[in-house]
A and B are shown apart, each in its own frame.
Chain A
Amino acid sequence: MTRPLALARFRALVAAYGGRLELWPQAEVGAARELLAVSAEERALLEAETAFDRELAVANEPPEVPAALLRRLNEVPLRAPQRRVWWPFGRAWVPAVGWAMAAALGVSWGLFAPPFEAVEGETAPTVAALDSSAEVAPAAPADDDFSALARGTLVEFEE
């Protein structure tokens, strides 16, 4: 159900757009048709404006373009080269600003980030701990120990 159109609004639309409903604002055409279906007075008003539209239609044929102008217009592509598009993905300033901001971020990180030595100092104890743990770990058994072990096992089996 469309919202009813006030008479004043209907008359304002007729006065502006005339009798051709296709020129009217789309949102109001439905309500206008409903009003026209029930009001003879509004139908008469629309018909009067439609008659004036017919008067206007006689002036609807645009004038011929003078031959000299048409020639100038047709020569435009020959005289003015099209501009080359070096960035076909929309406005070029968007990625340019993005790259500039990324570069600025990188430079400021390089200037203000903590120095590399401090990081190295934090890792030094870990290296030392690895070294000391290597010293404390038991030595790997020598080849002789393995031989003895093998022999002992054999003795136990023989016993």
Chain B
Amino acid sequence: MSHSQLTETRDEDAALVLRVGEGDVGAYRELVARYAPQLLRFATRVLRDATEAEDVVQETCLRLWQHAREYKPTARVTTWLHRITHNLAVDRLRARGRLKPLPDQDEDADAMPESARQPSLIDEKRRVLALDAALAELPERQAAALTLVHLHGLSGKEAAEVLDIGAEALESLLARARRALKAGLTQPRAGAKGVS
């Protein structure tokens, strides 16, 4: 996406949120159509539970509808919505005592095989399945960071804001997530259905 396209989308999204703040149901549904798929994937990556992820997305959309007037255009709408989703998901993880501590910095690096630098060529469908399986095995925070930056296109600064961490911590999460994914793609685990 070019810079001008990005700016245009940003302005369009902000205008839609302003309209939602004025009670425009059509604008609300337009934003839902744009962002619900991303938010659902993000919540699923963090929570590892489809039902809970759906509840979190519904709660996020409820907040969009009820708090649109509080949106400040200093942040992109996508950052704002991802942040709400992340906070709600983390609240649920905390409530269930499921928030895992971050693994040690080198834990994944040791596990990374040398061949991870050159992923093997497998057909596209199998690659998607392998990626999904590898993503599902990442720790929540690594999965969240990778999803935000590499799948949803947020900048490092925006992703750090969503996750409420510093730039260095984000870079560390991203690097470990990429290493683990490479390892997962070159050595599909038993959990990757239809890949082995």
Contact = CB atoms under 8 A, between A and B. Distances in A.
Interface of A: 12-13, 15-18, 23-26, 48-49, 51-53, 55-56, 58-60, 62-66, 69-70, 72-74, 76-77, 80, 82-83, 85, 88
Contacts of A70: 32, 36
Given A62-B37, A73-B57, 9 more contacts: A51-B118, A52-B181, A53-B150, A59-B128, A62-B151, A70-B36, A76-B65, A83-B66, A85-B69
Interface string B113-138: 00001110000100110011001000
Contacts of B118: 48, 51
B54 A69 contact: yes
B176 to A, nearest CB: 9
Nearest to B69: A85
A53 B153 CA distance: 12
Given A52-B182, A58-B127, A76-B28, A65 B37 contact: yes
B40 A80 contact: no
Given A15-B179, A56-B131, A82-B65, A77 B28 contact: yes
B29 interface: yes
B41 interface: yes
B178 A15 contact: yes
Given A62-B38, A65-B37, A56 B150 contact: yes
Contact of B127 (A55, A62, A88): A55
- Of A59, A66, A69, A88, the most chain B CB neighbours within 10 A belong to A59
B167 interface: yes
A153 B124 CA distance: 130
A13 B171 contact: yes
Interface in B10-54: 23, 25, 28-29, 32, 36-38, 40-41, 54
Interface of B: 23, 25, 28-29, 32, 36-38, 40-41, 54, 57-58, 61-62, 65-69, 117-119, 124, 127-128, 131-132, 135, 149-151, 153, 155-157, 167, 170-172, 174-175, 178-179, 181-182, 185
Contacts of A66: 54
A78 to B, nearest CB: 8
Given A76-B62, A77-B65, A16 B151 contact: no
Nearest to A24: B156
A62 B42 CA distance: 9
Nearest to A79: B62
B131 A55 contact: yes
B149 A82 contact: no
A30 to B, nearest CB: 15
Given A55-B127, A59-B132, A76-B65, A65 B40 contact: yes
A58 B131 contact: yes
B32 to A, nearest CB: 5
B58 A69 contact: yes
B149 to A, nearest CB: 6
B17 to A, nearest CB: 13
B156 to A, nearest CB: 6
B175 A12 contact: yes
